Every structure is written in structure tokens, then in C-alpha cells.
Amino acid sequence: MRIAIAPLWLLLAGISAALMASDPPAARSDAEFDAAINAKLAETSAPEVVGVAYASAEDGVVTKQGSWGEMERDSGNPIADDTVFIIGSVSKSFTALAVMQLVEAGEISLDEPAGTYLPALRDTPAGEPSVRQFLSHTSGFSMVQGNESQDDTSMAHDALARRISVAATMTPAKQPGTVWDYSNVNYQVLGRIVEIVSGQSYADYVEQKILAPAGMADSFVHDAGDRPNMANGHRPWFGTFQSINGNLTGRGSSPQGGIVSSARDMARYLSILMNGEDDILSAAGKATMMSPASEFSPEYGFGWFIDAEQGTVFHSGANPGFEALATMIPAQKRATAVLVNNSSGLAFGHTLPTRNAITAASLDLPYDGEASPMTMRVAFIVLALLPFLYLLGMWRAWRGRGSQRSGMAGQIALYLPLLVMVALAYVFVIAIPTMFGAPFAAAAIFQPDTGVLLAGAAIMGVVWAVWRIAMARLAKP
């Protein structure tokens, strides 16, 4: 069995709304714990990552934490206990918690349309889904719609408001409340609701009402400031990792993926969510967040995925240059957070085995490793070779310039490849990124090497087809 990990591969039904505590198992020594992690990593042949930090908690206490690697590749600056990472979509749980705080304060009703609280969405199709539907990804907005603004890196204070102005022009792809589809636009809307209802910026609200009360001293909402204890992000670049210069996460993305935290802060946060007490949110409110939201959302609550078979509640996260996995076993009050400062590549440099192996070793969960990446690696290599094959074809067309078959068959042979190459360019630049849930520009931010290969194959194919037509019409020398 595998640990449940990513939004589109989730199975099984929800956990009980009443989270019953049980005695945690005896803590293992650091040596035993490290040996268990190393054994899991060896079993999965986990590839090298730039830097990793993890922390585990049991019954409200951070019991284990560790790290290896560097804050920036080849810098000699090691990951430390207080090193912070962008946690990506794990941030959605903070946004959901903020909304639930306002629900319990009587400021928001879960079943009211979002347009009730957002003037920009009032009387628009985008404002018709309820707050509950936005929380549970059943608003009808699609994954592709949610990623259309992924390349917006603006740090302006009105960045989130402008995102919602764009959302106001959109119509949900499906009827609200009838289908589950993971979409970042849902949590952009919720973040803006928090701003309007509370009268504070999203960052101020989360830092004052969640991070500070939870004792998360290392954590903050991502801003443009230079934090000396923040790990540098890295993206895949043809078998290695490319350090990111500058910020690739805009302020408008904060509610969906802009929280920055250390592994130990995350372990504390997860412990609070499982403690069964009324503190930053009521115990009942926490249980609601970690229970299936509806019949159309059996494996997702409010900001959390649910695996009933393993009894886990979890969320993964991915931002350009960073990946994360936060996992809880509420019935045992045990949790682990794993943070990495590089994005996974299409075929090389996957962080998933590392994150899952550490989580499995920490929480004594079964884990059989990941599927072989060989198919993806072959596809990556073929994409890399295509431009050279097109160049070879262009050289051959030059050598044979002036020769052209006559008649209809000759015309078809001459022009059909151009139609095929245009269609193939559409597949490379539009269809394939859409299949993965993002426009080409957004996908290329996460995996620039794959973006270069897709764009290169698309462009060179069309250039080759046009070139051979031109060469066929040249007079022989």
C-alpha cells in the first residue's frame, strides 16, 4: 500500500467526526528512528534532494526532528531546525481554519453563497457556490481554472483583490455542488472572504489569529522580505536543480499556497488540530475540517484530504522550488511534516519517495514505494532528441532542394506534415499541460526544463515542416 499523497489519486471514504484519542506508542530512540528512515529511503531508491527538514509529534509534543542537505545548492549552508520553507497547498488548511474561526464567531455562514461576502462576486456565476462548496472543492471550478493565475508573482497589497476581480469574470466549469475538482481559485476566494469579513489583510489575520496563538514563531505568510532562515527554492533542470532567483509566489497565491513554516512549527500546528481541545478553534470545528465535507467530497474535508483505511488526514504541497507533506493520525495524536526545497521533475529528481518514506517511517505506515519513472524518463529523452531530429530533417531537405513529386500525391506529401506538426504543437503546448491541470505558462514555472523541451519540440516541428516546403520549391542548384 502507498501513503495517500496527491489530490487526483485519492481513494476511500471519510473518518469519524468524533476523533478518539488513544495512547501513543513508546517513542523510539533517535538512532532507531534514523535507522528506520534510512531503511525506507534505501527501499525506495529515493533520489537526492537539495534539502529536507522533518518533524514528528506525539500527543502534543514534538518528539523527533531532523534535516539534511543545504538551504541553497552548493552553498555549504545546511538546513537547520528553524529553516523555513514555502509549504504550498498545505497552506489551504490555514485558510480553511481562518474561515472556520469566522464561522464560529458568527461572521460567516457555511451555506451562504460566497457572493454574500464578496461584492466583486455578487450577482455573478462565480459567487453562487456556497462557502462550504469552496472549502471542499465542490464549487464547480476546475483545476485548470485554478491554475490560470499561477504565473502572477505580484507582491502588491491588492494582488488578492485583483485575483478575485478576474475570478468574477469566470463561470464554474461544472454545476456547483455536483462534482469534486481540486481548484486553487476556491481558496483564493476564501482568502478574500477572510479579508473582507475581518477587515484585515490575509497575512495579518493568519499571523495574528493562527500562527501567534499556535506558538509558530518561525512561520509567516510569504512576503517580499529577505528572511535569512528561509531555504532557497530549486527547480528541475535537465537532471540537476536550478536555484530560483527571486520570488515565484505572488501575494495573491497566499491563501492557496503561500504560508512559510519550519518542520517543527508544522508539527506543533498538526498537534493542535488533533488535541481535541477548544483553543484556536473548537474541537468540533477541527473535527469538521477533518471529516468528509459531502457525498461529492468523500475524501476531502475543509483543507484536508482523508484516507479512512489508514486513518490519516493529510495534505501535500507544491510551489515553484518547494514541496511538502503534512500527515496526521488523529486517533493516535501522531503527526509528521516533511518539507523539501526543490520541485520534482517530470522524469528526474522526484521528492515524493523521500517525503513518503520519512512519513511512513515516522508514523509506522505501510509503504511500498513509487511506480518506476522509466516511462517518464524515456518520454523526457525523446522530447530532448526531437529538435535534433528536426534539424537533421532540415539538412536533408536542403540537400534535396528543388525535388518535388508531381500531382495530388506530391501536394499531400508536401503539405500534410505541416498539418501534423501544427497539431503536434497544440498537443505539446496546450493538451499536455492541460492534462496535468495547468496552462503551459504555469506548468513551465514548476518544471522549466520540461517547458523548454515541449516548446522546443513544438516550434522546431513547425519550422521543419515549413522549411521542407520552401526547399521543395527552390530551383535545383
> Which among 10-14, 77-81, 327-331 has the top mean pLDDT?
327-331
Split at pLDDT 50, 70, 90, the class of 400 is confident
pLDDT higher at 312 or 68: 312
Closest CA to 64 of 36, 102, 106, 101: 36
Is residue 84 within 8 Å of 231, Cβ to Cβ? Answer: yes
Distance between CA 327 and CA 201 in Å, rounded? 28
Split at pLDDT 50, 70, 90, the class of 11 is very low
Split at pLDDT 50, 70, 90, the class of 432 is confident
pLDDT higher at 453 or 372: 453
The pLDDT of 434-445, averaged and rounded, is: 83
The pLDDT tens digits of the residues spanning 236-277 come to: 998 888 898 766 778 889 999 999 999 999 999 999 999 999
Task: Please give the C-alpha separations between residue 298 and each of 14, 16, 304, in angstroms, as whole numbers.
Answer: 6, 12, 11
Task: Give the chain's mean pLDDT.
Answer: 86
Residue 222 CA neighbour count, 13 Å, CB half:
30
Distance between CA 370 and CA 46 in Å, rounded? 9
Please tell me the pTM assigned to this model: 0.86
Split at pLDDT 50, 70, 90, the class of 19 is very low
Split at pLDDT 50, 70, 90, the class of 408 is confident
Split at pLDDT 50, 70, 90, the class of 196 is very high
Is the model's pLDDT at 46 over the cut of 80? no
Is the model's pLDDT at 151 over the cut of 80? no
The pLDDT of 385-401, averaged and rounded, is: 91
pLDDT value for 416 = 93
Q: How far is CA 239 from the centre of its chain?
A: 21
Q: Dihedrals φ, ψ of 184, to 5°? A: -65, -25
Split at pLDDT 50, 70, 90, the class of 41 is low
Long-range contacts of 39-43 (CB under 8 A, 24+ apart): 39/361, 40/357, 40/358, 40/360, 40/361, 40/367, 41/353, 41/354, 41/357, 41/358, 43/357, 43/369
pLDDT value for 414 = 86
